[in-house]
Chain A
Amino acid sequence: MREQWRRLVQASAQADSFRGREAVLEEILALVQAWDSEAAPAAGGRDARRPILHRAVARRLAAELEVQLGRLATDLTQPARSAEAPVHAMLARSGHVLSTFLGYRAAVRLSQAALRLTGSLSKR
């Protein structure tokens, strides 16, 4: 199971083979649910692993920012990745630059996409 998990997390960083934008996350979540059902309740359950999933979304956001902003993204995402809410921290740091160079609408759309993914994690 752990091997499968590692494979999926690695795949989320270079997922050429996945069909859609939700595919990686869906697969990760499906694996987590299967993992949950096997694991003992005392082991922590889904809540304990939510930060891991948030970091997976953060990694995807960081990769997107790197494609858009290149070298500048390193400065904007590196400290945020270790933060408690990395997605929110990254969006806060990069929002102004994105608004300027991509326009307000695009910046909002990117933020919403990232927050929707983290939001869907909370609901699961």
Chain B
Amino acid sequence: MSWRAQPATVRWIATLTALHLGAGAVAVVVWVATGSLFWILSYLRYAGAAFVVGLALAEALLSVRAFLGFSRGDALRPAWLLISVAASARLAGFVLAEIFSPGPGLTGPRFIAQPAPWLPLSTTHRAGLALAGPVALLLLSPALALVGRAYDRHGLSGELRVMDWLALGVASFLMVNDTWDGIRWTLAREAPLDLYRALGFVVDPLLLVLLFQALTLRRAAQTMAGGLIGRCWSAYSAAVFLTVLGCLGQWAVNYGYVPRPVAVPTWFVWFLVSAAFAMGPAYQLEALDRVRRGLLPSGWS
């Protein structure tokens, strides 16, 4: 599908993301060249917050509209309901974390709850991270399971290939390390296990389940490669894959496994996650809107 043939909403999201990442690259260059933190801090705090909140709002609205396109009894209606609630949780989480209680200093965005290390975050910020992270993912997982089952019923389920199993193996190894580091840190400091930190411990196993679902869904969506429906579920698959990458990057930075310069790209992964999550329902809605417009001549835009 060429750029012009892409749905207008998807083109908007892609353009906005490219501009935002370009601005971020400029801010990083200014930071490195001058040593001044002003531009990079302003970018992360204001432009970054506006971007993730804006795209989460778009994602929530598009998901709800996609959900409304389904009738009672439709196979994917419950899936779109769960996706809409998950998108609303992400929006509420980002509003709480990024607008009402921005994080401290030059840390980059943290979009997911983690059990450790202890970070000086307000209760509002932690509630936001919990909503946008584990709560949204807990809602997304059964939704993807329903979609996978729908593909399965049509004999379109995708089989995982060697590369998929390899990715799952590597992710599992790193996630186990992440969890183990969290447990060690908690035991060493006798940190209390509150709800936020408990949810942080749920993230890793949940992401592994989601990664398996996303890889399976990607293979299934390839049976509809080039179509709007296939692209919708490929976008969700990419969003989950990028979330896993972002989470692993966050772990590696928090525990000092990678030096600060390497940490910078991990900040930007979260913006791509937001874009991918918004593109999923955009494709679905375009598919529904096309049907609403009637049987158009092919190539009609």
Contact = CB atoms under 8 A, between A and B. Distances in A.
Contacts of B153: 100
A104 B74 contact: yes
A102 interface: yes
A72 B291 contact: no
A21 B298 contact: no
Interface stretch (A7-15, A29-37, A39-47, A78-86): A7-15
Dominant secondary structure of chain A at its interface with chain B: helix
Interface of B: 69-71, 73-77, 150, 153-154, 156, 222-231, 287-288, 290-301
Contacts of B75: 99-100
Given A21-B296, A24-B297, A106-B69, A66 B76 contact: no
A110 B295 contact: yes
Nearest to A117: B295
Interface of A: 11-16, 18, 21, 23-24, 57, 59-61, 63-64, 66-73, 96-97, 99-106, 109-110, 113-114, 117
B224 A71 contact: yes
B291 A70 contact: no
B299 A13 contact: yes
Given A99-B74, A100-B76, A110 B227 contact: no
Contact of A21 (B226, B230, B294): B294
A39 to B, nearest CB: 26
A68 B227 contact: yes
A15 B299 contact: yes
A68 B290 contact: yes
Contacts of B156: 72
A24 B300 CA distance: 11
The 3 closest A-B pairs by CB, nearest first: A70-B227, A63-B298, A15-B297
Given A64-B290, A69-B227, A16 B300 contact: yes
Nearest to B221: A70
18 contacts: A16-B299, A60-B297, A63-B297, A66-B226, A68-B227, A68-B228, A68-B287, A70-B226, A70-B228, A70-B229, A71-B230, A96-B154, A100-B74, A101-B229, A103-B74, A104-B74, A109-B292, A113-B291
Nearest to A98: B291
Contacts of A69: 224, 227, 229-230
B85 to A, nearest CB: 18
Contacts of A102: 69, 229, 287-288, 291
Nearest to A73: B227
